[in-house]
C-alpha cells in the first residue's frame, strides 16, 4: 500500500475537470502539498483556494507542459519552493475532434506536445529524486482510445497509444534496473463527463459503455495509487479490447461500429459547446 499522507503531489492540468477533482482528493487524503500545473491562472487560483478552504496546502504554477524549456524551468522552482515531488499525475490533455484533413498541422503538433511529449519532460523533471529514494508513484491518464483507433481521433488516439507505450516501457525499465519502489499506473478510461468531450454519444450508455462520472474516476485513481495498481481500464468492457486485436481488421471494425465507438465523435463540440472550433479546441486542457 502507498500512503498519500505527507507526500508532495503534482497534478498537470490540475485546475479543471478531472485534474481538479484528483488534486482535491489528494489533499483530503492528507498529501502535504498539492502542486498544480495549468495554463489558466484564474482557474489555478480558484483551485488553490478551494483546497486550502478544506484545510489542505496547495500552490499553482502557470505551465504549458508541451513547452520543454518551460517545464524544466518551472520544475526547478517547484523543487526550490516546495520540495521534491513524490506523487506525479500526468493528467493534462487536449483533443481536436477533427478528421485528419480538417486538423491543422499546429493542432496535431499541440496534441502530441501535451498528450505525449509532456510525459517525458514532466516525468524526467521529478524521476531522479524518486529513483534516488526508490520510492514514488507516477500516474498517467491515458484513454481507451489508446487501445483501439477511433474515427475523428487520428491525433488523440495515436497520442494515447504512445502514452501507454511510454508508461509500459518506463515500468519495465524501472524494474529492470532495480527501482521497483517507484510505482507506475496507467489509467485508460472511456469518455469522462468533464466537458472535454462534450457532445460525444454512447450507443449503450446505461450498462455497457457509459460516459464515466469524473468523481468516480478520480476516486478510483486515488485507490489505484494507494494499492499500487499498475493499470486499469474503465468501464470493464474496455478490458476486452486488446484481445479483439487478434481478429481480422474488418471484424474489429464491425464490432467497434456495432458498439457505436466509431460514431461517438459525430456530434463532438468539446469545451467550445458550439463556438468557433478553430480557436477553442485547445480549451480542453484537462479531462
Average pLDDT rounded to a whole number, residues 28-46? 97
Q: How high is the pLDDT of residue 287?
A: 59
Rounded CA-CA distance 244/32 in Å is: 43
The mean predicted confidence, pLDDT, of the chain is 93
Q: Which residues pair with 35 in a beta bridge?
A: 10, 59
Catalytic entry in 37, 156, 179, 191: 156
Across 102-118, average pLDDT: 97
Relative orientation angle of helices 17-28 and 214-226, to the nearest 10 degrees? 50
Across the chain, which distance is largest between two alpha carbons, in Å?
Answer: 54
Q: Report which DSSP code applies to 247.
A: S
pLDDT band at 26 (very low <50, low <70, confident <90, very high): very high
How much is the average pLDDT of 80-102? Answer: 97
Q: pTM higher than 0.75 for the full model? A: yes
User: Residue 274 above 70 pLDDT?
Assistant: no
pLDDT > 70 fraction of the chain, expressed in percent and rounded: 94
Q: What is the pLDDT of residue 278?
A: 32
Q: What is the DSSP letter of 241?
A: H
* pLDDT at position 110 over 90: yes
Domains of the chain, start order: 8-283 (3.40.50.720)
pLDDT higher than threshold 70 for residue 282: no
Q: Is there a catalytic annotation at residue 156?
A: yes
pLDDT on residue 266: 85
Q: What Cα–Cα distance (Å) separates residue 257 from each residue in 177, 251, 263?
A: 43, 10, 7
Instruction: Say if residue 224's pLDDT is above 80.
Output: yes
Res. 279: pLDDT tops 60: no
Contact predicate 139/222, CB 8 Å: no
Amino acid at each position: 500500500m502507498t500512503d498519500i499522507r505527507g507526500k508532495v503531489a503534482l497534478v498537470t492540468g490540475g485546475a479543471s475537470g478531472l485534474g481538479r477533482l484528483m488534486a482535491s482528493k489528494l489533499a483530503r487524503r492528507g498529501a502535504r502539498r498539492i502542486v498544480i500545473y495549468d495554463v489558466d491562472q484564474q482557474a489555478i487560483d480558484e483551485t488553490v483556494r478551494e483546497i486550502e478552504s478544506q484545510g489542505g496546502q496547495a500552490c499553482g504554477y502557470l505551465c504549458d507542459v508541451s513547452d520543454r524549456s518551460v517545464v524544466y524551468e518551472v520544475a526547478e522552482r517547484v523543487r526550490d519552493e516546495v520540495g521534491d515531488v513524490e506523487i506525479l499525475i500526468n493528467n493534462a490533455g487536449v483533443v481536436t475532434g477533427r478528421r485528419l484533413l480538417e486538423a491543422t498541422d499546429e493542432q496535431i503538433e499541440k496534441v502530441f506536445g501535451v498528450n505525449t511529449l509532456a510525459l517525458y519532460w514532466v516525468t524526467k523533471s521529478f524521476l531522479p529524486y524518486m529513483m534516488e529514494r526508490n520510492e514514488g508513484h507516477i500516474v498517467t491518464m491515458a484513454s481507451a482510445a489508446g487501445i483501439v483507433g477511433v474515427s475523428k481521433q487520428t491525433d488523440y488516439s495515436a497520442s494515447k497509444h504512445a502514452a501507454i507505450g511510454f508508461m509500459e516501457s518506463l515500468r519495465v525499465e524501472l524494474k529492470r534496473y532495480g527501482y521497483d519502489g517507484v510505482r507506475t499506473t496507467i489509467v485508460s478510461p472511456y469518455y469522462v463527463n468533464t466537458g472535454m468531450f462534450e457532445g460525444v454519444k454512447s450507443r449503450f450508455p446505461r450498462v455497457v459503455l457509459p460516459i464515466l462520472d469524473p468523481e468516480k474516476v478520480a476516486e478510483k485513481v486515488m485507490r489505484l495509487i494507494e494499492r499500487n495498481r499498475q493499470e486499469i481500464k474503465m468501464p470493464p468492457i474496455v478490458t476486452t479490447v486488446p484481445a479483439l486485436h487478434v481478429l481480422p481488421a474488418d471484424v474489429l471494425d464491425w464490432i467497434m461500429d456495432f458498439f457505436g465507438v466509431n460514431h461517438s465523435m459525430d456530434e463532438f463540440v468539446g469545451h467550445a459547446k458550439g463556438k468557433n472550433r478553430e480557436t477553442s479546441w485547445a480549451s480542453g486542457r484537462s479531462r
